[in-house]
Amino acid sequence: MKPFTTVAGLVAPMDRSNVDTDMIIPKQFLKSIKRSGFGPNLFDEVRYLDEGQPGMDNSKRPLNPDFELNKPRYAGAQVLLARKNFGCGSSREHAPWALEDYGFRAIIAPSFADIFYNNCFKNGLLPIVLADDIVDRLFDAVASTEGYKLTIDLENQQVVTPQGDAFDFEVNAFRKHCLINGLDDIGLTLQDADAIRAYETRREQETPWVFGHIR
């Protein structure tokens, strides 16, 4: 998992509430569990004018000109600005996979669905909860300023505007540690690899008949 310390990124707005995981990545793309390659189908149903299916050449599909992420001014955005209850609906982990594969590192919203919120941390995304009035101000700033960027400082738990305004956000200390060090569940387990190997060696000596059956 890619470590997250400080990101100074272009902001893309998604000015709608209750964006569910089926809108983030539709169900027909859930057959793959590779964790990569989902970016081109992020928000597929509103991003394109036709119905997307796995294996399609997305470069030849008609784009929806009214969809935010299709506008050239938001190309390469790393911060997604959203409204309340982002990530509601089913618990598919493909949703944060698609957002991360697209290039987003952080999502700012007044609230998130619980399962989606937890899945973000496990996949290198930082979900940031800010008050409604602050999110409103950020939406106004993004709309009025092309190329609007925010600095996300995870170490100090702040979102910093180009004008120097800083908004504090809360994050669990353990989740913060994992993001800063790029540790997903597998990475956390591998930190104890030596102890695991030592245990397996000891168990093989103590119960050789068990290990004989699994070789």
Residue 83 has pLDDT above 60, yes or no: yes
Q: What was the pLDDT predicted at 105?
A: 97
d(CA 6, CA 91): 28
> 81: closest CA among 37, 170, 17?
17
Q: What was the pLDDT predicted at 41?
A: 97
Pairing of strands 149-153, 79-81: unpaired
The pair phi, psi for residue 151, each rounded to 5°, is: -105, 120
Output the average pLDDT for the chain: 91
> 36: closest CA among 86, 80, 96, 90?
96
Q: What was the pLDDT predicted at 213?
A: 57
Q: What was the pLDDT predicted at 206?
A: 76
> 15: closest CA among 139, 133, 144?
139
Express as a percent the part of the chain with pLDDT over 90.
Answer: 77
The two three-digit tokens of residue 122, written as one number: 């496990």
Q: What was the pLDDT predicted at 214?
A: 56
Token pair 């993004």: residue: 142
The type of residue at 196 is I
Q: Residue 192 burial (CB < 10 Å; 0-12/13-18/19+)?
A: exposed
Q: Are 47 and 64 in contact (CB under 8 A)?
A: yes
Q: Which residues lie across from 80 on neighbouring strands? A: 12, 107
Ranges 71-80, 146-155, 178-187: which has the least confidence:
178-187
The two three-digit tokens of residue 194, written as one number: 């030596």
Q: What was the pLDDT predicted at 15?
A: 96
Q: Which residues lie across from 127 on neighbouring strands? A: 107
Residue 86 has pLDDT above 90, yes or no: yes
In the predicted model, what is the mean pLDDT of residues 103-128? 96
Could you read off the pLDDT of 157-209 as tens digits, one per residue? 999 999 999 999 999 999 999 999 987 765 565 555 666 676 776 777 777 77
Q: What was the pLDDT predicted at 197?
A: 74
Q: What was the pLDDT predicted at 2?
A: 86
The type of residue at 51 is E
Q: Mention the CATH class of domain 6-182.
A: alpha beta
In the predicted model, what is the mean pLDDT of residues 18-33? 93
Could you read off the pLDDT of 101-113 as tens digits, one per residue? 999 999 999 999 9
Q: Which residues contact 37 (CB under 8 A, 6 or more apart)?
A: 101
In the predicted model, what is the mean pLDDT of residues 23-38? 90
Q: Residue 173 burial (CB < 10 Å; 0-12/13-18/19+)?
A: exposed
**What is the 8-class DSSP label of residue 88?**
B
Q: Using N-to-C axis directions, what is the helix angle for 114-122 and 94-102, rounded to 10°? A: 50
